[in-house]
Amino acid sequence: MADANYARNVTVSVKITTEKNEFLLTYDTEEQGSKDTYFKKLSTGEISDGIISLTTENQMSNDMGTFNLVMVGTQRWENLLTSNDIVEIRINPSRPSKVDNDLIMVGMISEVRMIGQYGENSAVYQVNGNSMSKAITQMSLGTIQELNGLMGDAGWMYGIPGISQNDKGQYTETDGKNSAGTSVGSDNKSITQLSFMGQKASGIIDQLMKWFLFQHSSYQYANNRSISDYFELNLSSRPEEFLTDPTNITSYQGSLLQLIKDSAATPYNEIREDYYTDSEGNAKEIFYLRPTPFEYSDWNSLDAYSVSNNEIVERTVSRSDTEAYSIFETPIPSNIIPNTDGSLLANPVYFPSLTSKYGFNLLSKENKYIFRSEYDNSSTSSSSGTSLKDGGAPITSADVSSIQNATLRWTDKKNITVDSLNDFMNKYGVPSNSPFRGNGSYFINAGNASGLNPVYILAHAGIESAWGTSNIAQSYHNYFGIYAFDNNPDNAKTLSSNGVESGIINGANWISKNYYQKGHTTLNEMKAAGYATDPNWATSIASVMAGYYAREKFSKSNKKDSNPFAQTSLGDDSLLGNAIKAKKGKSTLPADSVLSQSIGLSNGLSPDSLLGQSVKKEKDKAKQKAEKESSKKKEQDANDNINKQNLKKYSMYLANWYADNSSFTSGEIRVVGRPGYRVGNILIITDNSEVTQSGDSVMWKFYIEGVSHEFSLTSGYTTVLTVTRGLQSDITGLDRFKHYNQAVAFTGGLFGEANLATLYSKSVSLQNDGSGSDSNDSSDNVSSGSGGDDYPDKWRNATPDSMADTWNYYNRECVSFCAWRLSKSGVSPTLFSSLGNASNWGLKRSQYVTKTPHVGDVAWFSPGWGGAGGAGHVAMVTKIDGNNVNLDEYNWENLHNFHQRTVSISSVTGFIHFK
């Protein structure tokens, strides 16, 4: 029966478009007569060019479709065709009736090769290529890896319209977006800016395609069409999608296609290709994104194709339990730090009947679009100091504690002048041999260059360098202690300058870039970020600044100003003298009380007095701050509730779709050729060989994940369908949605261990007490040997990725091993916990990244650097040997075991120096 179907009148048409020409090749059974006649005409040259065979393949699991043509004739195709020329393939098996859509491929040539002679006058050529998605695969994105690793959250895309960085060095966007999240060009094929924050997968992919491919590529063809004319975007997402962290997009290194696939959030969404002819006769590839049909309504809305047994040429299908899962989880995205440590946000679900067979067989898939985080996307465009969002308020009083928490930005230029700085240094005991005396202009220039407050720059330089008279200051003109480590102060020469002014400016710029722009915008924040080890460091600098503001600014400001310090008399030397004594540990007064005692502030002030009004103002500020924190806490709690609901909802999606994997049939079904089959729809087979109890034919339903078309002069035209999720209905009584929404919450304790809540509480307590290592627990059985495999047995002996460690990393991963080593060395767990993939470590802790290694540092390899994969890699530095470093690590080259090696310093993206 099948052989008779092969004899249908098949018409094949291949159109090839180059930059300058168009070629059309056809095969028509009716016109060419029998196969023997056709072969004879080809061999004698009566037909100048013809088609012997073709194959097209479109698989949802592949990056892109493929095609293969075997052509014969007198044309010398290797001279006429080249890579990226367009090929359109149509096939119609139903002449004279025309099918609705006969286009089975539109793509780009990859190779043209002569494979032999056919008779005296003709040559045989093989033309291979891919679908139009080849253009996306060829386009690579990124910049120099070293630069990318230091760019912060905005990554290398910084400067593209719509993308910038705020004063914390964080990703931010401009306004003016339409409902799709982009500013659309007049042709609807272009956009004027990029905007990722808050977007769905569909909105992000739409922008990536339009910006990078349609607007920044130069494919042009003879028919006056460009690359965008061969694409149509059909993109949709679920309503709850909302991207909160765009870092992985804006710093991406790789092909545009891979970025699009990473942005699609599979398996929750599906990417597929299709081909059609528009109303003007133009061939196009439709690039689809849609939610995976997890639910009844989604599944039942898919198009269906019906075939009977007589149309099936060959069927190779089977059932397998190789992917039979019992527990399903949508976890917190690895690149996001949760808002709160108050509770476990994970919401896995499971089927007890399946765990009794398969145990802890977990299917865990992230979805970065459904988790709300605290990621700050606010823009900080104000320079007036009235609406700053940079972590500290403008300085409005000469109070030491408030100055420690005030912004270091230069917010008020009116009362900070060269004269005021010189006057301050003359009156407040700056040594006469100080190179700063009389050079207030140096600090004004440094403020203009760095954006930092010149008063802060002066105070910091004064405290760190003994007002420019220390040996390091005089030798290297390094006035801020930069790179001057306690065990190696001479390392300050790393940031040496050729003069006093350049040293002050260079130091201020370095602090601005490496601290202020990284979010450490106050003295206390700089101290917490590790700038100094002296516990009085922030207080000492703030005390000097208070001396300036108490006399040089607030006492000389507008006389009508009701500033409480305008009428306060302070001893000229008390502030600076006491601050210096506090710095040297000789003062009998607490450093932060110097200013308070100088003013004489007490709790018995009249509410109507100037100082009383100031106290009331501070109380009001404290109240506003408390209300703001309370509001933020409510917002975080609301986000956490949304997160819990979404994580459970999407865990249930996975359970609904994959729970019955072992019951489903999958494989390949070859049917009589038909161009209408399309990926992502349903195949219904009516099996006449079996009947139900009611006497009806048995029906099978499959999900089509691949369509391949094959044609040759000898075998005719057939279509091979790659099918999954096949289920026989009626006769077995099986229901595709038998377990739909029937999974229950997984609380742990599957093998008698503590439940998840107890384990979570234990992990939080370990992190909070700073131990992290659980070193007193004899069950750890830590291996001995310095520099060897000391990773705890409880994680080392477990299956890779089967359990989380104390710091929220999966066991036997590189990040878990480094977290273990850091905890042993006394680094605070707050610095290295929950950072996500290794690729994030250097980005999220960029303030600690240096090019100079130290023993105990984390060697950080960003994706693609030094042989690292897409998730990056981290290892521990155990020895420095000239231009090389020795490393201890886990999971190098995906082996999930301990490993040691020596690499060159230049092969490492950077070294994270937490100490």
Three-state DSSP string of 77-109 = HHHHCCCCCEEEEEEECCCCCCCCCCEEEEEEE
Alpha carbon distance 42, 625 (integer Å): 86
DSSP state of 865: G
- Is 316 in contact with 667 (CB distance < 8 Å)? yes
Say yes or no to pLDDT of 622 above 80: no
Q: Can you identify the CATH homologous superfamily of domain 770-912?
A: endopeptidase domain like (from Nostoc punctiforme) (3.90.1720.10)
Residue 474 neighbours by CB distance under 10 Å: 14
The pLDDT assigned to 598 comes to: 37
The pLDDT assigned to 837 comes to: 85
Least confident residue range of 312-326, 426-440, 568-582, 731-745: 568-582
Alpha helix segments (H runs only) across 157-234: 201-208
- Is 755 in contact with 747 (CB distance < 8 Å)? yes
Better-scored residue on pLDDT, 179 or 146: 146
Amino acid making up residue 394: P
Region 123-134 average pLDDT? 93
Alpha carbon distance 344, 329 (integer Å): 13
Alpha carbon distance 191, 211 (integer Å): 6
- Is 277 in contact with 288 (CB distance < 8 Å)? no
Region 768-783 average pLDDT? 38
Element (H, E) at 442: helix 440-450
Q: List 879's β-bridge partners, or say none.
A: 886
Least confident residue range of 3-12, 228-237, 367-376, 572-581: 572-581
Alpha carbon distance 11, 28 (integer Å): 4
Say yes or no to pLDDT of 565 above 50: no
The pLDDT assigned to 114 comes to: 92
Measured in residues, the chain has a length of 915
Least confident residue range of 235-244, 315-324, 475-484: 475-484
The pLDDT assigned to 691 comes to: 66
Return the half-sphere exposure (C-beta side, CA atoms, 13 A cut-off) of residue 226. Answer: 10
- Is 396 in contact with 408 (CB distance < 8 Å)? no
The pLDDT assigned to 389 comes to: 38
- Is 575 in contact with 587 (CB distance < 8 Å)? no
Average pLDDT, the chain: 78
* Structure-token pair, residue 523: 């003295």
* Structure-token pair, residue 720: 């091979």
- pLDDT tens for 137-166 read 999 988 876 665 555 556 788 888 887 655
Alpha carbon distance 776, 763 (integer Å): 15
The pLDDT assigned to 171 comes to: 62
Say yes or no to pLDDT of 60 above 90: yes
Least confident residue range of 316-330, 465-479, 483-497, 888-902: 483-497
Region 327-348 average pLDDT? 74
Taking CA atoms, 329 is separated from 605, 641, 652, in Å, by 60, 17, 8
| Nearest residue to 914 (alpha-carbon basis) of 834, 832, 840 | 832
DSSP states of 732-785 as a string?
Answer: S---TTTTTT--EE--B-TTSPPBHHHHHHHHHHHHHTT--S-TT-GGG-PPPS
- % of the chain exceeding 70 in pLDDT: 75
Better-scored residue on pLDDT, 438 or 143: 438
The pLDDT assigned to 38 comes to: 55
- pLDDT tens for 24-46 read 888 765 555 455 555 555 555 45
The pLDDT assigned to 519 comes to: 79
Q: Which long-range contacts (CB under 8 A, 24 or more apart) does 754-760 make?
A: 756/344, 756/346, 757/344, 760/343, 760/344
The pLDDT assigned to 274 comes to: 96
Say yes or no to pLDDT of 583 above 90: no
- pLDDT tens for 481-524 read 787 665 566 666 667 787 899 899 988 988 888 888 877 889 98
- Is 22 in contact with 16 (CB distance < 8 Å)? yes
The tokens 């949802």 sit on which residue? 60
- Is 10 in contact with 19 (CB distance < 8 Å)? no
Say yes or no to pLDDT of 182 above 60: no
Q: DSSP 3-state assignment of 700?
A: strand
Region 792-813 average pLDDT? 87
The pLDDT assigned to 615 comes to: 56
Q: List 91's β-bridge partners, or say none.
A: 12
Region 254-280 average pLDDT? 93
- pLDDT tens for 629-650 read 777 777 777 777 888 889 999 9
- pLDDT tens for 842-863 read 877 877 888 889 999 999 988 7
- Domain extent listing, the chain: 2-131, 136-292, 400-563, 770-912
The pLDDT assigned to 185 comes to: 41
* Structure-token pair, residue 200: 């769905």
Alpha carbon distance 619, 321 (integer Å): 66
- % of the chain exceeding 90 in pLDDT: 32
* Structure-token pair, residue 216: 């920044």
The pLDDT assigned to 579 comes to: 45
The pLDDT assigned to 387 comes to: 28
Cβ burial of 315 (10 Å; 0-12, 13-18, 19+) is middle
The pLDDT assigned to 578 comes to: 46
DSSP states of 177-234 as a string?
Answer: --TTSS-B-TTSS-BS----TT--HHHHHHHHIIIIIISS---B-TTS-BGGGGEEEE
- Is 809 in contact with 817 (CB distance < 8 Å)? no
* Structure-token pair, residue 318: 């089977």
Say yes or no to pLDDT of 734 above 70: no
Region 165-174 average pLDDT? 57
The pLDDT assigned to 859 comes to: 95
Region 55-77 average pLDDT? 90
CA angle 756/761/764 to nearest 5° reads 125
Amino acid making up residue 321: D
The tokens 């480094």 sit on which residue? 818
Q: List 804's β-bridge partners, or say none.
A: 810
Better-scored residue on pLDDT, 517 or 573: 517
Say yes or no to pLDDT of 626 above 50: yes
| Nearest residue to 796 (alpha-carbon basis) of 809, 808, 813, 775 | 813
Q: Is 367 left (phi over 0), alpha (psi -120 to 50) or beta?
A: beta
CATH architecture under which domain 400-563 falls: Orthogonal Bundle (1.10)
The pLDDT assigned to 559 comes to: 36
| Nearest residue to 362 (alpha-carbon basis) of 780, 890, 743 | 743
Region 340-348 average pLDDT? 71
DSSP state of 906: G
Residue 624 neighbours by CB distance under 10 Å: 10
Say yes or no to pLDDT of 827 above 50: yes
Least confident residue range of 230-244, 415-429, 683-697, 718-732: 683-697
Least confident residue range of 140-149, 450-459, 795-804: 140-149
Amino acid making up residue 157: M
Say yes or no to pLDDT of 56 above 50: yes
- Is 547 in contact with 576 (CB distance < 8 Å)? yes
Say yes or no to pLDDT of 698 above 80: no
Amino acid making up residue 550: A
The pLDDT assigned to 336 comes to: 64
Q: pLDDT-based confidence at 711, cuts 50/70/90?
A: very high
Q: pLDDT-based confidence at 117, cuts 50/70/90?
A: confident
Which among 280-294, 386-400, 739-753, 762-776 has the top mean pLDDT?
A: 280-294
pTM greater than 0.85: no
